């Protein structure tokens, strides 16, 4: 799965969660409407207000959904949650702490409505603070009046005392049974909220938990992908080294041609993933020689027809070896086509001109250049002048003239 596909799935999930919430809210509204029609007009007015509030709540949830879905940046989602929570619940301040299970620590990631720097740099370890208590008990912690507490409970956040908060709620954010963080509500006056208010707070907390969970999931997948890529690339380098050893290539031939090919490709305007695929392909260009016996590979004289027939298979061996590795599916052009020639006289397919994929046309020049400058079992290294003259001479025959030009610029 590519990052993009994962992202799309996450977005679908968010959409889905949003719709379920919307349906639940609608059902509540319908029930409310039924009750209302049986009661008096004052209640009807109140119900009307309630419906308006429900709509506003829905809108708030929707905004949070959009923030979550349109960004993989958790901080933006959290900012939207704290913002909507404060506005919808009409409370003075809101903070959101996320939990790091490795450090066993809560960190304040979002704040809204504070007058001081309170909580800005707060990190709570286990056993500290109200937020941590709510999380530990898996239950909303409600303190109606902080002033009535025996001791001011925010031992690690002395600034909070200056805020003059009275009412406090700490709601644990739980997804898949695990604590993801805590949503905290602060108000500077006593507050006796309706069941509707409490429901909405719970809904917001649920939404926040899902947002954090999905973001962690996404980051986890990204990291796993990156680690995998690194492990793969290390494997490729080891593989290339093993071949160098058998092919009696000079030490570092693979890395050298790879680096030169990337530089040349860049000078021709290739970028991003194209360079990544080219790099991997270059590293593995001669991996198909693994299928060529030593007596041919290490022969000191010229090859006879039968030996050439086998040697000409090495690009096909490479393709057969690598084609089922999905990680390398974009990196096969070079192993497969690095011996094709611009004039159509190459192998294995006899492709000509731009039928030959550009990475392979780029690589062919670099490969021949490096081979000529190396001692091979079948001949000694050529001097640089002679090799350069050969490359120039083969422009339009073996090599793509445009690439030869770029190569000569690069080697100047
Ligand atoms: P390689 O040694 O890595 O050479 C890669 C490519 O560089 C060759 O592809 C060829 O295009 C160019 N090249 C290398 N040495 C020379 C040279 O002395 N003169 C010229 N004009 N071009 C050279 P090619 O020819 O398709 O060969 C593929 C592989 O076959 C070579 O890879 C090498 O492993 C083997 N090979 C080629 N010629 C001989 C040979 O005379 N004896 C032996 N034992 N192996 C050979
Ligand atoms: C990818 O799927 O890894 C990139 C897209 C492509 O180059 O086909
Ligand atoms: C909190 O629980 O968010 C405040 C920090 C503390 O209790 O020290
Ligand atoms: C993929 O395309 O599946 C990821 C591997 C890569 O970076 O090419
Ligand atoms: Fe080759
Ligand atoms: Fe080579």
The rounded distance, in Å, linking the Cα atoms of 312 and 337 is 11
Residue whose C-alpha is closest to residue 188's, from 120, 118, 124, 131: 118
Residue-by-residue DSSP string for 174-212? EETTEEEEEEEEEESS-----HHHHHHHHHHHHHHHHHH
Query: What are the two backbone dihedrals, phi and then psi, of residue 344, each rounded to the nearest 5 degrees?
Result: 90, 5
Looking at the CA of 287, name the nearest ligand: 5
Q: What residue has token string 């429901």?
A: 199
- The candidate with the shortest Cα–Cα distance to 94, out of 107, 108, 74, 106, is 108
Choose among 131, 399, 381: nearest CA to 250. Answer: 381
Report d(CA 86, CA 219) in Å as an integer: 28
Q: Is the CB of 326 under 6 A from ligand 2?
A: no
pLDDT band at 120 (very low <50, low <70, confident <90, very high): low
User: Which 3 state secondary structure label does DSSP give 151?
Assistant: coil
Confidence of residue 19 (pLDDT cuts 50, 70, 90): very low
Give the distance (Å) from ligand 3 centre to CA of residue 158.
9
Pocket lining: 94 vs ligand 3, CB cutoff 6 Å: no
Ligand lying closest to the C-alpha of residue 274: 2
Q: How confident is the model at residue 335 (pLDDT cuts 50, 70, 90)?
A: very high
- Can you tell me the mean pLDDT for 32-42? 52
State how far the Cα of 36 lies from the Cα of 197, in Å rounded to an integer. Answer: 19
- Mean pLDDT in the chain? 82
Closest alpha carbon to 284 in 326, 226, 249, 237: 237
Domain ranges of the chain: 71-220, 247-410
Task: Determine whether the shortest distance from the Cβ of 378 to ligand 1 is under 6 A.
Answer: yes
- CA distance linking residue 174 with residue 152, whole number of Å: 27
Query: Whose atoms come closest to the Cα of 95: which ligand?
Result: 3
| Architecture of the domain delimited by 247-410 | Orthogonal Bundle (1.10)
Token pair, residue 208, equals 């926040």
Dist CA 186 CA 197 (whole Å): 14
Ligand 2 and 330: CB distance under 6 A: yes
Across the range 49-55, mean pLDDT stands at 67
232 pocket-lining for ligand 4 (C-beta < 6 Å): no
Ligand 3 atom nearest the C-alpha of 106 is 3
DSSP state of 123: E
pLDDT at 51: 65
Neighbouring residues of the ion ligand 6, judged by CB less than 5 Å: 286, 367
Beta bridge partners of 111: 95
Chain CA centroid to CA 335, Å: 28
Report which protein residue has its CA nearest ligand 3's atom 3: 131
Is 13's pLDDT higher than 50? no
**CA 359/CA 239 separation, integer angstroms:** 21
Q: What does the alpha-carbon distance between residue 214 and residue 219 come to, in Å, rounded to a whole number?
A: 9
- Cβ(98)–Cβ(180) under 8 Å? yes
pLDDT of residue 2: 43
Least confident among 8-12, 266-270, 406-410:
8-12
Vertex 255, ends 300 and 286: CA angle to 5°?
50
- Residue 149 has a CB neighbour count (10 Å cut-off) of 12
Of residues 118 and 322, more confidence is placed in: 322
Mean pLDDT of 393-405: 98
Is ligand 2 within 6 A of the CB of residue 2?
yes
In a 10 Å sphere around its CB, with 0-12 CB exposed, 13-18 middle and 19+ buried, how is residue 299 labelled?
middle
Any residues with CB less than 8 A from the CB of 154 and at least 6 apart, and which?
129, 130, 160, 161
Helices (H), 284-327: 294-297, 305-311, 314-322
Q: Mean pLDDT over residues 23-31, rounded? A: 53
Q: Does any ligand 4 atom lie closer than 6 A to the CB of residue 272?
A: no
Ligand 1 atom closest to Cα of residue 292: 34
In short, whether 39's Cβ falls inside 6 Å of ligand 1 is no
Q: What is the pLDDT of residues 342-393, one digit of tens each?
A: 999 999 999 999 999 999 999 999 999 999 999 988 999 999 999 999 999 9
Residue 21 has pLDDT above 70, yes or no: no
Residue 170 C-alpha to ligand 3 middle, in angstroms? Answer: 10
pLDDT score for 144: 93
Which residue is listed with tokens 């031939």?
A: 253
Overall CATH class of domain 71-220: alpha beta
From the CA atom positions of the chain, what is the Rg in Å?
33
Phi and psi for 305 in degrees, rounded to 5?
-60, -45
Q: What is the pLDDT of residues 199-257, one digit of tens each?
A: 889 989 988 998 888 877 767 666 666 666 666 677 777 777 777 777 777 668 888 99
What is residue 230's predicted lDDT score, i.e. its pLDDT? 67
Q: What is the CA angle 6-9-10, rounded to 5?
A: 90
Q: 240 versus 340: which is more confidently predicted? A: 340
Q: State pLDDT tens for residues 263-313.
A: 999 999 999 999 999 999 998 898 888 888 889 988 999 999 999 999 999
Question: How many residues make up the chain in this entry?
Answer: 412
């Amino acid at each position: 799965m590519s990052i993009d596909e994962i992202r799309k799935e996450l977005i679908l999930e968010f959409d889905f969660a949003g719709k379920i919430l919307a349906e639940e809210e609608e059902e509540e509204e319908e029930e409310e409407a039924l009750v209302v029609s049986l009661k008096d007009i004052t209640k009807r007015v109140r119900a009307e207000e309630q419906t308006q509030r429900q709509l506003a709540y829905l809108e708030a949830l929707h905004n949070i959904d959009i923030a979550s879905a349109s960004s993989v940046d958790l901080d933006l989602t959290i900012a939207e949650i704290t913002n909507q929570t404060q506005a919808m619940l009409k409370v003075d301040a809101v903070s959101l702490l996320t939990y790091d299970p490795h450090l066993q620590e809560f960190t304040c990631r979002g704040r809204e409505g504070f007058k001081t720097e309170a909580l800005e740099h707060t990190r709570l370890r286990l056993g500290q603070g109200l937020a941590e208590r709510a999380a530990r008990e898996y239950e909303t912690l409600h303190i109606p009046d902080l002033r009535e507490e025996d001791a001011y409970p925010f031992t690690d956040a002395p600034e909070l005392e200056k805020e003059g908060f009275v009412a406090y709620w700490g709601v644990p954010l739980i997804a898949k049974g695990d604590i993801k963080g805590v949503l905290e509500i602060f108000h500077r006056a006593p507050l006796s909220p309706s069941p509707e208010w409490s429901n909405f707070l719970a809904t917001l907390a649920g939404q926040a938990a899902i947002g954090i969970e999905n973001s962690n999931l996404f980051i986890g997948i990204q990291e796993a992908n990156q680690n995998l890529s690194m492990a793969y690339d290390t494997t490729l380098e080891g593989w290339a080294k093993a071949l160098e050893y058998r092919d009696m290539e000079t030490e570092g031939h693979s890395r050298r041609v790879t680096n030169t090919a990337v530089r040349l490709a860049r000078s021709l305007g290739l970028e991003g993933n194209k360079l990544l695929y080219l790099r991997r392909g270059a590293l593995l260009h001669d991996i198909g020689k693994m299928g060529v016996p030593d007596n041919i590979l290490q022969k000191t004289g010229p090859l006879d027809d039968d030996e050439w027939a086998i040697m000409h298979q090495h690009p096909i061996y490479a393709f057969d070896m690598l084609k089922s590795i999905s990680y390398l599916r974009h990196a096969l052009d070079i192993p497969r086509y690095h011996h094709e020639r611009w004039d159509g006289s190459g192998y294995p397919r006899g492709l000509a001109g731009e039928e030959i994929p550009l990475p392979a046309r780029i690589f062919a020049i670099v490969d021949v250049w490096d081979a000529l400058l190396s001692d091979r079992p079948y001949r000694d290294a050529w001097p640089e002048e002679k090799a350069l003259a050969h490359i120039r001479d083969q422009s339009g025959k073996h090599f793509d003239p445009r690439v030869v030009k770029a190569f000569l610029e690069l080697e100047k």
